């Protein structure tokens, strides 16, 4: 009998340890999920050395050379803009700037925070737990490396490559 209770306790403990923490966000008037408290863990102050590694005046656009991609991805690459305060903005080529009025740094959809350690970059953001409309999210920290003007990073096990460009190089 004691063994049975012990087994149940072990199973419950194992199930609880396998679950990622989830976060529920309220939405603003535009339907954007908003961070009501600062849930980011990458809150280190950026240093002058960091700004030698990443250019906050440029954009980093996704390229697909040597990577698996489809026509839709190539037509609408992801674009990252890194800010001096540790936040980054994630956008796409076709919808670049479309949601700027509704989105600020407190929006889950804005992007997230980043941290630099030498040439290693960490991106922290929130992703929906399910593929459909939800207000429950999990926190994800992705790790990458910066080499020259290129960021190599894996998202959910898939490699991505982002090349530094100026605004006019992308949109002119």
CATH classification at residue 41: 2.40.128.280
Outline where 64-142 has alpha helix (H): 71-75
- Using a pLDDT cut of 70, give the percent of the chain over it: 84
* pLDDT given at position 45: 78
Whether 132 is in a domain gets the answer yes
In tens, the pLDDT along 1-56 reads 556 554 555 444 444 444 567 888 888 888 888 887 778 888 777 888 888 888 88
Residue 12 in domain: no
Q: Is 1 part of a structural domain of the chain? A: no
What is the average per-residue pLDDT within 104-110? 89
* Rounded CA separation 144/125 (Å): 14
The per-residue pLDDT of the chain, averaged, comes to: 82
Q: Is residue 17 part of a domain?
A: no
35-38: which pairs have CB atoms within 8 A and are 24 or more residues apart?
35/106, 35/107, 35/108, 35/126
The domain in which residue 33 lies consists of: 23-171
Phi, psi for 128 (deg, rounded to 5): -65, 145
Residue 64 lies in a domain: yes
Confirm whether 3 is domain-assigned. Answer: no
As a whole number of angstroms, the distance between CA 123 and CA 90 comes to 11
119-128's contacts with Cβ under 8 Å and 24+ in sequence apart are: 119/53, 119/145, 119/146, 119/147, 120/144, 120/145, 120/146, 121/54, 121/145, 121/146, 121/151, 121/153, 122/42, 123/88, 123/153, 124/40, 124/41, 124/42, 125/90, 126/23, 126/25, 126/33, 126/35, 126/39
What pLDDT, on the 0 to 100 scale, is given for residue 58?
92
Domain count, the chain: 1
Question: Average of pLDDT values for 129-154?
Answer: 87
Residue with more model confidence, 159 or 44: 159
Higher pLDDT, 66 or 10: 66
Examine residue 65 and state whether it is found in any structural domain, yes or no.
yes
pLDDT at 147: 93
pLDDT, position 135: 74
Could you tell me if residue 130 is inside a domain? yes
pLDDT at 136 over 50: yes
């Amino acid at each position: 009998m004691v063994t049975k209770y012990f087994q149940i306790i072990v199973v419950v403990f194992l199930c609880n340890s396998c679950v990622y923490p989830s976060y529920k966000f309220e939405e603003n008037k535009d339907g954007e999920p908003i961070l009501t408290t600062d849930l980011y863990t990458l809150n280190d102050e950026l240093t002058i050395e960091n700004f030698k590694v990443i250019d906050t005046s440029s954009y980093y656009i996704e390229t697909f050379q040597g990577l698996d991609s489809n026509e839709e991805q190539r037509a609408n690459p992801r674009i990252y803009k890194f800010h001096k305060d540790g936040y980054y903005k994630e956008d796409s080529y076709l919808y670049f700037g479309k949601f700027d009025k509704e989105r600020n740094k407190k929006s889950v959809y804005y992007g997230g925070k980043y941290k630099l350690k030498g040439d290693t970059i960490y991106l922290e953001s929130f992703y929906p737990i399910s593929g459909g409309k939800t207000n429950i999210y999990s926190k994800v920290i992705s790790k990458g490396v910066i080499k020259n003007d290129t960021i190599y990073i894996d998202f959910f096990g898939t490699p991505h490559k982002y090349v530094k460009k100026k605004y006019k190089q992308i949109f002119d």
